[in-house]
């Protein structure tokens, strides 16, 4: 709709409401909402018609179905016991399993690793917020080095850097992220109860281990090598696992799985986040932020770092800050590993510290944890990473 027509209608609304003796404040607020209404409607329409929306929602639904199948069949608890027998420590399991599942490029991974963290920590004296932070942090340590993360693929293509060189340039940040997470989140856990009783039947434990890990491995293959989207891959694997459990005499009720995975509150949270991101897009807020920084006298690396961090906070996903910031990197210094690295590191930091990150919302919801208490140790880990990364980049530029 033409902007001048919108303004005219808005002013007429103000006049009519004032004539009805409505206070000026509510009149102006109503007219302001009317001016924004076309953008809100457009963003809602685009959110509800984008394939990505339904891919995310269905992938999350099937992951929850998968978790119910594994939990009710006993395979999940058996897998954790088997892993703790292998690692001889629940603390190692707490760090390794979310990290391993983080290799799967799907939103649902955070929801799948959450019950594993819950099971592995059931004998440990830690709060729900601590468990949530562990699940969320270690799930994302491969954002810097995995060649199958969508944001990494987009970054290399847009910035004009090779996959191998860019991954080698940032791989040490994955090691640093694991170390920071261990120092902040795992090390303080009292180890007195970190061991759990081993199961007597080794073959049973091996079967549980493979039953729990094979869905992740198979989904990884279907998504990466077979080109299926996340929802199709997870749906196929979930259906196959249901049949395998029946074949191995671990019957799970179909009704319990289908209905139990319908977490309406979580789905609405995810949908609202996607809607918020689309509002930012259609109102050109993100582009205006970028333009404001581009016109500033700050050094180029500082501009890229600030813009990447802010866009990461606003979008909460690697594809978001990469799609907006990496074209600027390419325009300024095509093929620059240093500048692209700055954009990636600070963009990831932004997406790790925002309520628009769906993995964080899902994790906090699962553990029924306080949002800010969960985010506090994550913030400390990010401060460690950004401080060391900034110092290293400054002295090696």
Question: Each residue of 239-268: pLDDT tens digit?
Answer: 998 998 888 888 788 888 899 888 887 788
Q: Please, what is the angle between helix 163-181 and helix 128-139, to 10°? A: 160
Q: How many residues does the chain have?
A: 397
Taking the alpha carbons at both ends of the chain, their separation in whole angstroms is 49
- For residues 14 and 255, the model is more confident at 255
Instruction: State pLDDT tens for residues 346-390.
Output: 999 999 999 888 889 889 999 999 999 999 999 999 999 999 999
Cβ burial 52-74 (10 Å sphere, 16+ → b, else e): ebebbbbbbbbbbbbbbbbbbbe
Q: Which residues contact 9 (CB under 8 A, 6 or more apart)?
A: 34
Q: Which residues contact 150 (CB under 8 A, 6 or more apart)?
A: 105, 318, 319
Contact 362, 266 (CB under 8 A): yes
Q: What is the pLDDT of residue 49?
A: 92
Q: Please name which of 362, 318, 290 lies closest in space to residue 148, comparing C-alpha atoms.
A: 318
Instruction: State pLDDT tens for residues 112-156.
Output: 788 889 988 888 889 999 999 999 999 999 999 887 677 887 788
Q: Which residues contact 8 (CB under 8 A, 6 or more apart)?
A: none
Confidence label for 174 from pLDDT (cuts 50, 70 and 90): very high
Confidence label for 195 from pLDDT (cuts 50, 70 and 90): very low
Q: Please name which of 108, 95, 117 lies closest in space to residue 223, comparing C-alpha atoms.
A: 108
Contact 179, 385 (CB under 8 A): no
Residue found by looking up tokens 């395979």 in the block: 75
User: pTM to 2 decimals?
Assistant: 0.76
């Amino acid at each position: 709709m033409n902007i001048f027509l919108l303004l005219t209608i808005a002013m007429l609304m103000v006049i009519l409401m004032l004539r009805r003796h409505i206070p000026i404040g509510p009149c102006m607020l109503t007219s302001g909402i009317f001016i924004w209404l076309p953008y809100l409607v457009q963003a809602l329409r685009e959110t509800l018609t984008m394939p990505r929306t339904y891919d995310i929602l269905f992938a999350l639904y099937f992951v929850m179905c998968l978790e119910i199948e594994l939990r009710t069949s006993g395979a999940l608890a058996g897998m954790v016991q088997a892993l703790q027998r292998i690692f001889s420590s629940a603390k190692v399991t707490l760090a390794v399993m979310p990290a391993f599942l983080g290799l799967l490029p799907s939103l649902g991974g955070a929801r799948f690793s959450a019950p594993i963290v819950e099971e592995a920590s059931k004998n440990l004296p830690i709060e729900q917020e601590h468990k949530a932070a562990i699940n969320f942090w270690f799930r994302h340590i491969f954002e810097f080095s995995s060649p199958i993360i969508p944001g990494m693929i987009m970054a290399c293509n847009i910035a004009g850097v090779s996959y191998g060189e860019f991954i080698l340039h940032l791989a040490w940040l994955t090691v640093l992220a694991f170390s920071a997470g261990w120092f902040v989140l795992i090390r303080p856990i009292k180890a007195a109860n970190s061991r759990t009783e081993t199961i007597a039947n080794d073959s049973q434990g091996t079967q549980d281990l493979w039953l729990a890990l094979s869905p992740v491995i198979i989904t990884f293959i279907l998504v990466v090598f077979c080109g299926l989207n996340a929802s199709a891959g997870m749906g196929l694997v979930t259906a196959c696992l249901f049949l395998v459990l029946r074949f191995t005499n671990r019957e799970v009720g179909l009704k319990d799985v289908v209905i139990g995975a319908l977490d309406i509150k979580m789905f609405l949270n995810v949908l609202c986040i996607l809607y918020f991101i689309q509002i930012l897009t259609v109102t050109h807020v993100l582009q205006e932020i970028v333009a404001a920084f581009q016109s500033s006298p700050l050094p180029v690396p500082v501009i890229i770092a600030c813009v990447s961090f802010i866009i990461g906070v606003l979008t909460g996903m690697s594809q978001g800050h990469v799609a907006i910031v990496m074209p600027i990197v390419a325009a300024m210094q095509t093929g620059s590993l240093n500048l692209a690295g700055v954009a990636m590191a600070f963009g990831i930091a932004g997406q790790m510290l925002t309520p628009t990150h769906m993995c964080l919302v899902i994790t906090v919801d699962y553990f029924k944890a306080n949002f800010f208490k969960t985010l506090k140790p994550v913030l400390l880990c990010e401060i460690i990473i950004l401080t060391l990364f900034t110092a290293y980049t400054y002295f090696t530029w």
